[in-house]
Structure 1
């Protein structure tokens, strides 16, 4: 099956190369990570090489050439470290070991070596906020071993009027219920902002900071190219009162939005999230990777950061004007605001807000999905999946793709019986679908064979989505026109100078049409037209961007009637429903 896939990839790429016969030149960026295409692999669901129903490292290695031919710059792997798998790898028990279900250290080294051969950079998921309660560090902290007494956030709690022990504050876990758990052996509460088994590290302890920097250096020595850093807003909490208790967080103003007092959305997280020290720590990690490069040589090391926070805070993750931070602070401002009913003016405003708020000397980034959110084909409408893919790949800067988005994969159906995500399991059979992240984590759809070619097992860890026989990579590579072929053309197109360095000029026309140009001096002008609505609209593109009397269709949404290479009159353009089109001025 891999051989068949590669032959079809090559055929499509040759067609794509022939397509771009205009005068634009390919650009080699000064830094490998700039204007890049980053691919998130959820290893558990990507490719199972040993038939146990769970994806693994050797499965990823098998698919690296395929990903390179599509055109990805770097691949970041969701956590692969040793873990009890309560939160599927985000509860790490040993930061220096590979989880046995995924393989061995030798398998990981083979993956890195193969990635270097094909020219793809490997980026690891770094989870600094917490560890598993099975981690050696936590066991030592429970036992108050010297140096580990304050390795985690511990508190005696409080006593109520009836003499009953109570948690030190009303803080809530992201997975519901109290963020404090009593430990009988230590006779104190510990903080866990996620599952009970994920104990929060105490970053006000210099030993914690030092230990986690050692972890980063260890994995850099294996030859990886950077880190995606998890859950940054949670790293620091408000310091305790003198008596060891903590301040309560206030209830949200409009309780009707989130009436459940056990749900974390019920509180304003003014003491448990977005403390300024969290951003300072990112600056320290940037200094670490730059110092590492200075000592060891080689190319730059990239930092991608995850933070669901305000636009102003996201900008601070880039740097503060004096110190540098993340190269790619994920643009969740865009992802969280973009809804199925968002209008063209709203979307244009979200884009412009990011572009105008960025510090000088950094690059924008665009992301619409990951392992924690419903797939954008489901969330924004499968009929508009190509439209949003075109948007992501033609805006300035870096693009981030969650595995399966290039196929327009949709959320799978996961029953209550098969639900394994702790966020879903902490709910109930009647509302679990509002919380569970399992539907966006179903196995990758490679072909129409058993288990979509993901695994030969009798059962996979999550059920394969039911539409895999018609929506899979092999079928899309062989089809005359498909989501994947469009994706590959767009990545090729992104190498052109106008789309690397050209200015963005963007407008909304009415509620449904977004139109923008990308043009570098002395190079081709590209114009992108996106129709969010269900009705076709006629427009004169020359009223907005001077394309003259002729323009060529470079590529368009799969259902579009505009075929690649067709010459059109920009003054008489018809924007089809739910269709995106990339044009070049002739």
Structure 2
């Protein structure tokens, strides 16, 4: 028995030695080991099965493995060992780790990987930035100039306010200065000041000096104070004057009529064609705007001088470079004082045909005679090509004082000539062209179609590049005010259009109150002192002043004045500043305008100029939504259910007679 145990012990020792030498024990699953059991090893089975059974019982122990230790080559006996193994990872020692950490190769490799990582990261960042910067995107709209952003406020000084100590009833510079705050509260961006140049009091267009203030309005110091007040409120001041002619009392004309060598050619002179029973015969058939011959005989010089307006307003000779240079000096004088630009009138008359050719009668017969302005085509006395060259020289002087200086032209300057200049030079010669005939053509009883025709004509002309930015004005020139021409009830609807159409609105002082009368009617500041300029026509004569004084309008929620202020704020909408514009007439009675800029609420103006109450369906309007929000109402808008900020259905919009609404909506843009 001892021998057998020794023999078994020897075999186990041999198996253990073999296992250590090979370092890789042969490990077989239990089932495989059973199959590989040598013949005659039944004696071991019991022990093995018992161990397997124990393994099953002790389920919380590690997995069992079978180690094939040795085999008896003679009798095929084999010994197996089943043990519990704990799976664990045996890492390197600290010494081994430090060996690799300090190895120069691994140090270099780590630094290389570190540098490559950050280079890759920076490259990815640079690529992302490049994609963002270089990717095509919608160009932002060009920033607007001050004369494009807000309305301009046009003041006729003589009728605005008397600010003098003597209170003579004549508006003056001190009066304007005292109410700069009021203009600022209207959110205007600039003031257009009527000519304050020294002139014949009976004829303010007959300028006696281009660089002096007429004493009736104050002094040059008063003008400087006005400029200071304007600039303190971040406003701009534009000065109006007529460069076409002077007064007969101007030193230039006096010297020219006397035959002075320096000034002899400052005006347009021509010899007589002979004599008849009426005296000297004029050089040609030209007539003045006021009617009658455009030539006046000067016995002192023995020649005719040209006057396309009054005989006391001789035309300057703009073909003489010295005269053009004189006007440059005038511009520089006022720019040095601080004005922001000029509104020049009657520039279409600056040049005449050098050969003094006769004018051709209009082909269509009219009631006019050969002594009337309307009888001729005026191809030889208006809008001659050289006018653009003169304006170019003056514009260069103006812009030399800064890009925020403006050149305006009021009148009927050649649109084609200005368009050609813009086409050739890539910029507008005139910043704002203020035509004399737009809304001034409207009379009482006008229709939605009449309104649409005027708006489309101006917009179409602007879109073809003929006039640059559109200019809108309800009252101006020498016509009656809009409230007199079309009725006070229709003023709010028209004001909505002027403020919200593309372009620059110009408000003649008092139109924000819907005052009536002539264009030079006095401003109604309060009830106790109704005009402030008693020598000018009074708004009180029309019966309107008792309602729309400045004082009363500011206290009334539904007043023309407060609606005007709300409309100016509405102009801040991107759809108004930069959006597209479409107009149409619904059911022959309602004028509709929409302004849309992608990504912003759309704005719609609906105006019923008829004398009937209507309800209209606006679903036919492009990009319109099913629901509209009421933003503003005309002061005469009365309806039981429609209120500010209320919602109304697009297919059922109520509009009382001569009333209007400003509505907002979410545009349904089509691809």
TM-score, normalised via structure 2 length: 0.73
Seen in structure 2, the aligned counterparts of structure 1 residues 463 and 345 have a Cα distance that, compared at 3 Å, is closer
The reply on whether 1:46 has 2:160 as its aligned counterpart is: yes
Q: Match for residue 26 of structure 2?
A: none
Alpha carbons 1:318, 1:328 under 8 Å: kept: no
Q: How far is 1:547 from its partner?
A: 4.0
Q: How far is 1:196 from its partner?
A: 1.2
Q: How far is 1:45 from its partner?
A: 0.3
What are the within-5 Å matches in structure 2 for residues 476-555 of structure 1?
476-555=553-632
What are the within-5 Å matches in structure 2 for residues 173-188 of structure 1?
173-188=288-303
The reply on whether 1:381 has 2:487 as its aligned counterpart is: yes
The reply on whether 1:292 has 2:401 as its aligned counterpart is: yes
Greater Cα radius of gyration, structure 1 or 2: 2
Cα distance in 1 between the residues matched to 2:614 and 2:173: 48
Q: How far is 1:354 from its partner?
A: 2.7
Q: How far is 1:447 from its partner?
A: 1.6
Alpha carbons 1:531, 1:578 under 8 Å: kept: yes
Q: Match for residue 270 of structure 1?
A: 379
Cα distance in 1 between the residues matched to 2:474 and 2:378: 24
Alpha carbons 2:442, 2:485 under 8 Å: kept: no
Question: Please, which of 190, 206, 213 is the counterpart of residue 321 of structure 2?
Answer: 206
Alpha carbons 1:314, 1:329 under 8 Å: kept: no
Cα distance in 2 between the residues matched to 1:373 and 1:319: 34
Q: Match for residue 76 of structure 2?
A: none
Alpha carbons 1:393, 1:491 under 8 Å: kept: yes
Q: How far is 1:460 from its partner?
A: 2.0
Alpha carbons 1:283, 1:323 under 8 Å: kept: no
Cα distance in 1 between the residues matched to 2:472 and 2:423: 18
Seen in structure 2, the aligned counterparts of structure 1 residues 135 and 312 have a Cα distance that, compared at 3 Å, is same
Seen in structure 2, the aligned counterparts of structure 1 residues 85 and 314 have a Cα distance that, compared at 3 Å, is farther
Seen in structure 2, the aligned counterparts of structure 1 residues 351 and 317 have a Cα distance that, compared at 3 Å, is farther
What are the within-5 Å matches in structure 2 for residues 158-237 of structure 1?
158-160=273-275, 164-237=279-352
Alpha carbons 2:516, 2:539 under 8 Å: kept: no
Q: How far is 1:327 from its partner?
A: 0.9
Q: How far is 1:163 from its partner?
A: 9.8
Cα distance in 1 between the residues matched to 2:527 and 2:239: 30
TM-score, normalised via structure 1 length: 0.83
Structure 2's unaligned 5+ residue stretches are 1-140, 667-671
The reply on whether 1:392 has 2:506 as its aligned counterpart is: no
Cα distance in 1 between the residues matched to 2:579 and 2:261: 57
Cα distance in 1 between the residues matched to 2:531 and 2:322: 46
Q: Match for residue 515 of structure 2?
A: 409
Q: Secondary structure at the match of 2:333?
A: helix
Query: Which stretch shows the higher mean deviation, 52-61 or 30-39?
Result: 30-39
* CA deviation profile, 1:84-123 (whole Å, cap 9, x unmatched): 12322x2110111100010001000000001001121100
Q: Secondary structure at the match of 2:438?
A: helix
Q: How far is 1:336 from its partner?
A: 5.1
Alpha carbons 1:518, 1:525 under 8 Å: kept: yes
Cα distance in 2 between the residues matched to 1:371 and 1:314: 22
Q: Match for residue 441 of structure 1?
A: 520
Which one scores higher on RCO, CA 8 angstroms, separation ≥ 6? 1
Alpha carbons 1:279, 1:316 under 8 Å: kept: no
Cα distance in 1 between the residues matched to 2:209 and 2:162: 23
Cα distance in 2 between the residues matched to 1:319 and 1:137: 37
What are the within-5 Å matches in structure 2 for residues 281-360 of structure 1?
281-293=390-402, 299-308=403-412, 312=416, 315=419, 321-322=425-426, 324-335=428-439, 337-358=441-462
* CA deviation profile, 1:5-35 (whole Å, cap 9, x unmatched): xxxxxxxxxxxxxxxxxxxxxx994422223
The reply on whether 1:66 has 2:145 as its aligned counterpart is: no
Cα distance in 1 between the residues matched to 2:265 and 2:447: 50
Seen in structure 2, the aligned counterparts of structure 1 residues 107 and 523 have a Cα distance that, compared at 3 Å, is same
Cα distance in 1 between the residues matched to 2:372 and 2:480: 19
Cα distance in 2 between the residues matched to 1:265 and 1:567: 52
Query: Which stretch shows the higher mean deviation, 493-502 or 535-544?
Result: 535-544
The reply on whether 1:454 has 2:532 as its aligned counterpart is: yes
Cα distance in 1 between the residues matched to 2:537 and 2:626: 53
The reply on whether 1:81 has 2:159 as its aligned counterpart is: no
Question: Please, which of 191, 215, 218 is the counterpart of residue 103 of structure 1?
Answer: 218
Query: Which stretch shows the higher mean deviation, 494-503 or 337-346?
Result: 337-346
Q: Secondary structure at the match of 2:351?
A: coil
Q: Secondary structure at the match of 1:212?
A: helix
Q: Match for residue 57 of structure 1?
A: 173
Q: Match for residue 651 of structure 2?
A: 571
Cα distance in 1 between the residues matched to 2:278 and 2:436: 45
Cα distance in 2 between the residues matched to 1:585 and 1:324: 35
Alpha carbons 1:304, 1:328 under 8 Å: kept: yes
Q: Match for residue 106 of structure 2?
A: none
Q: Match for residue 249 of structure 1?
A: 359
Q: Secondary structure at the match of 2:554?
A: helix
Q: How many residues align?
A: 517
Q: Secondary structure at the match of 1:124?
A: strand
Q: How far is 1:145 from its partner?
A: 1.4
Structure 1's unaligned 5+ residue stretches are 1-26, 241-245, 294-298, 412-438
Question: Please, which of 119, 132, 136 is the counterpart of residue 251 of structure 2?
Answer: 136
Query: Which stretch shows the higher mean deviation, 322-331 or 526-535?
Result: 322-331
